[in-house]
Amino acid sequence: MKKTKKILMIATGGTIASRYGESGLAPAMNTEELLSFVPEVKEFCEVDAVQIMNIDSTNVSPADWLKMAETVRENYEKYDGFVICHGTDTMAYTAAVLSYLIQNSEKPIVITGSQKPIDFPVTDAKTNLADSFRYCSSEYASGVQIVFDGKVILGTRAKKTRSKSYNAFSSINYPYLAIIQDGRILQYEKRKRRAKPEFYSGLDKNVGLFKLIPGAKAEMLDAYFSLHDAVVIESFGTGGIPDADGYGFYDVIDKWQKKGKTLVMCTQVVNEGSDMTVYKVGRNLKKKYGFLESYDMTPEAVVAKLMWILAVTKDKSKIKRLFYKTIAGDILYKD
């Protein structure tokens, strides 16, 4: 007889748990209320629930990510899988961070939410939550992933690409792991299970993401470096920084590179990634200043990975080695 999986739901708030108030939607429902809308999950799994916070995901911080990871770690031996209810706005960041804080998990850690509250007459919340429990209870699931709108997305590859539509998330430079249709799981990729997960308990929150725009001032980049241990420059196209007269970016980069700051390049283009060797404005930076580059990683994964790495080590050679090490499928093309 097939064993019934025990799943722990970890509630953090988000739209799925929101109600209207005088100032608009805000998280208000508890775990019992959420579960009351998906009674069918009792047919294929046993569910316990814990509420560790009840916040809009816009307010999520590195401290909250550590709390989520610690909740999984404390309960890891008691359950077969975990479903985390979360707001959509920072869900991709959370999925990426948890992929680094909880590595090589044979048990699934599924993150879900919705674009409309679960008690609305028309909502995606019930389907997303039920699908998450269904996938979490399946024989295929392991590691961190987002389940949303019938799609299973690897935690390091998710990005919110629509602000209101139900198909809010896309898998960037990587295929969907599975599709869920009418309660049935169509599994495309079976990931390797590992018996011993690795848990980490630190994040360096001093990682900055600087979005380059035409005419940007070098003084702004200088301020970013002064406040952060690492700065990710989100550039145009395949990756580069203006080198024309009057910009002054190279002087700023030279100063902070000599002071030991970590320099990273990624691209504002959603698909296909970076390649700093294509143009002079990128090649010179990589050759002279040792920029790391994202290649096919998402900006969310780059930021999350740096927060994890810099909490592990400040050694430059180790930072580079860990950055280009493939973890949870986060990077395929690399140096």
Distance between CA atoms of residues 309 and 42, nearest Å: 40
What residue type is assigned to position 254 of the chain? D
**Residue among 15, 123, 262, 298 flagged as catalytic:** 15
CB 265 within 8 A of CB 293: yes
* Short-list 282, 275, 231, CA closest to 252: 231
Q: In the block, which residue shows the tokens 């959420």?
A: 34
Residue 44, token pair as written in the block: 């294929």
Alpha helices, DSSP H, located in the chain:
31-36, 62-75, 91-101, 125-136, 218-227, 249-258, 280-289, 299-312, 316-323
- Residues ≥6 apart with Cβ < 8 Å to 36: none
Neighbours of 68 (CB within 10 A): 24
24 vs 15, 174, 189, 316, CA distance in Å?
11, 36, 40, 46
CB 147 within 8 A of CB 185: no
What residue type is assigned to position 132 of the chain? S
Question: 3-state class of 75 per DSSP?
Answer: helix
Question: 3-state class of 239 per DSSP?
Answer: coil
Told to judge if 15 belongs to the known catalytic residues of this protein, a careful annotator would answer yes
Distance between CA atoms of residues 235 and 177, nearest Å: 29
Residue 116, token pair as written in the block: 């409309």
Distance between CA atoms of residues 105 and 249, nearest Å: 42
Neighbours of 149 (CB within 10 A): 21
Question: Which residues does the annotation mark as catalytic?
Answer: 15
